[in-house]
Amino acid sequence: MFARLLSRITLQPAMDGQLAARFDGQAVGLGQFSAAASQRAQGLHGGLPLASFAADGAVDKEIDLLVRRLARRGLLEYVVGSAADGKHRGGVDQVVIEPQAPDYWPRMPELGAADLVVLSRFAYLRRRGNDVVLESPRAAALIRIGDPQIAAAIATLAIPQSIGTLLRADGVLSEALLAVLLDCSMLLRIDPAHTGDLRAAEGDDDLVMWDFHDLVFHTRSTEGRQANPLGGLYPYAGILPPLPAVRPRWPGPAIDLQPLSGPPAQPLAPVARLLRARQSTRSFDDRKPITLGELSRLLDGAARVQSQWQAPVDFGDGDIGPVVDYAPRPYPSGGAAYALELYLTVAHCEGLAPGFYHYDAAAHALMPIEARAAERDTLLAAAAFAMDAPATPQVLITIAARFGRSAWKYSAIAYALVLKEVGVLTQSLYLVATDMGLGGCAIGNSNIDLFAKMTGLDVHVEGPVGQFALGRAEPEGFDEDVAEP
């Protein structure tokens, strides 16, 4: 296994021993290194064997530190095989690991000849540009495959086989590649006595309930488990014109609703007024932070459990299933699943210490959760960045989903229902905040990896699907430069 710099990166040593990685007109500082280490580091352009700097020498230690720093910044890939003969006839690398998460580090679990392995149902091969890639929403890395023989051999892993058989077969699948596939959960080690139910063998009950397309959608439309460009990047601005804001009219005569909407002088209904008054607020008045009382009223109005009841599942035709608990809240939810949970990252709230809290919607109480201050700061800073705001929100509400609440009942549409529920909860938060004279803003991106670190919950069990920035809005026409002493 070789660590190699991405092709667009160059390593540049400076006179003072500082090393920097340069790419796309940017420079990322990597720290101070000895002349010997800087020189050896140049080998990373072609690839340095991972095992070669695991030794104890001073230069080895420096290279190990440098490689880990490069890895954390997503500047490395790993070649499986040897950097030179890992290339097949067309001069293309046979197998390259592309990390998708910042803390990915290639590990090679021990393989036993008798171990029975099979491809995960979440692993898929597809074309990306001129490459074939093997991906999985469960993996922190993807595998770029340059040799069609290897791609074909991977397809044979759909049937459980022993490692010994695979290695004896034709030598196409190397031990290193099989180990990497196992480490990435693209390959599963299964119990020979239970080869009949591969879905259950894959992981825990929560994973069993995920449909393939839902887990791909979740991990590919959030941050933390993928290295693709993400967010408002206008990827087609130079290629296609934007669609018009208002849909071009269908042909034929229109039925004019204007005269039926009531005379303009008639006062609007309170709900219509609230809907029109609602707007997104991205800058907050930290001289007058939101109070704990206001936070309590907002959560009570938008998200508190209204009642609790139980009912057995009715499959129809008199067929009755298990009893299910229900806990409806003020917004609608598909199948009354109410899969959403609110987690609050508090920066400025009068009467409530900065911290990370879960909202217990049944008890109407906040439960403090131990999370590192650095992680809270990262979450708040990402929210400010997403809003292009000068400062963090006073309170950041992370809307998380207990995916199994929806997936236990719904096939194919479970994740879509969760996202639709995020929409109706978001509007409820907007409207209650507006009614209370508070400000808020929906945020489209979430970091599922960061949330997993803050809560200790697995990405597929409970994770963020939406965010809402909250606080007291900066007064109209407020100019910070003038107001600051």
Ligand X SMILES: Cc1cc2nc3c(=O)[nH]c(=O)nc-3n(C[C@H](O)[C@H](O)[C@H](O)COP(=O)(O)O)c2cc1C
Answer yes or no: are the C-beta atoms of 48 and 142 closer than 8 Å: no
End-to-end CA distance of the chain: 58
444 binds ligand X (CB under 6 A): yes
Measured from the CB atom, the residue of 268 and 373 that comes closer to ligand X is 268
Compare residues 121 and 218 and give the one whose CB is closer to ligand X.
218
Q: How far is the CB of 15 from ligand X (least distance, A)?
A: 43
- Token pair 């006595």 is found at 193
Interacting stretch for ligand X, rule CB under 6 A, among 45-53, 176-184, 218-226, 441-449?
A: 441-449
Binding of ligand X at residue 442 (CB under 6 A)? yes
136 vs 222 by CB, closer to ligand X: 222
Torsion of CA 59, 63, 64, 70, to 10 degrees: 160
Q: Which stretch binds ligand X (CB under 6 A): 2-10, 144-152, 302-310, 439-447?
A: 439-447
Smallest separation (angstroms) from ligand X to the CB of 419: 9
Tell me the CB-side half-sphere exposure of residue 435, using CA atoms within 13 A. 17
CB of 11 to ligand X, least distance (A): 35
**For residues 171 and 181, what is the distance between their CA atoms, to the nearest angstrom?**
16
Q: What is the DSSP letter of 280?
A: B
The verdict on 386 binding ligand X (CB under 6 A) reads yes
State the minimum distance, in angstroms, from the CB of residue 443 to ligand X: 4
Do 398 and 343 contact (CB within 8 A), yes or no?
Answer: yes
The CA-atom distances, in angstroms, between 121 and each of 74, 284, 336, 483 are: 27, 46, 29, 59
Residues 342-361 that bind ligand X (CB under 6 A): none
Q: What is d(CA 19, CA 42) in angstroms, rounded to the nearest whole number?
A: 11
In whole angstroms, the minimum distance from the beta carbon of 332 to ligand X comes to 17
For residue 274, the minimal CB distance to ligand X (Å) is 13
Q: Which C-beta is closer to ligand X: that of 12 or that of 279?
A: 279
- Is residue 432 within the footprint of ligand X (CB under 6 A)? no
Tokens 């540009």 locate to: 129
User: 111 or 465: whose CB is closer to ligand X?
Assistant: 465
Token pair in block for residue 16: 């003072």
334 vs 439, which CB is nearer to ligand X?
A: 439
Q: What is the largest CA-CA distance in the chain?
A: 85
In what order do the strands lie in the sheet containing 10-13? Answer: 10-13, 18-23, 26-32
β-pairing verdict for 48-49 and 319-326 = unpaired
Contact, 109 vs 59, CB < 8 A?
A: no
The site map against ligand X for 267-306 (x = CB under 6 A) is ------------xx-x------------------------
Nearer to ligand X, 280 or 306 (CB): 280
107-126: contacts with ligand X (CB under 6 A): none
Q: Which of 443, 448, 459, 473 binds ligand X (CB under 6 A)?
A: 443
Residue 31 or residue 231: which is nearer to ligand X going by CB? 231
H/E stretch holding 454 reads helix 448-455
Q: Please report whether residue 464 would count as binding ligand X according to CB under 6 A.
A: no
**Distance between CA atoms of 429 and 85, rounded to whole angstroms?**
58
Binding site for ligand X (CB under 6 A): 279-280, 282, 386-387, 426, 441-445
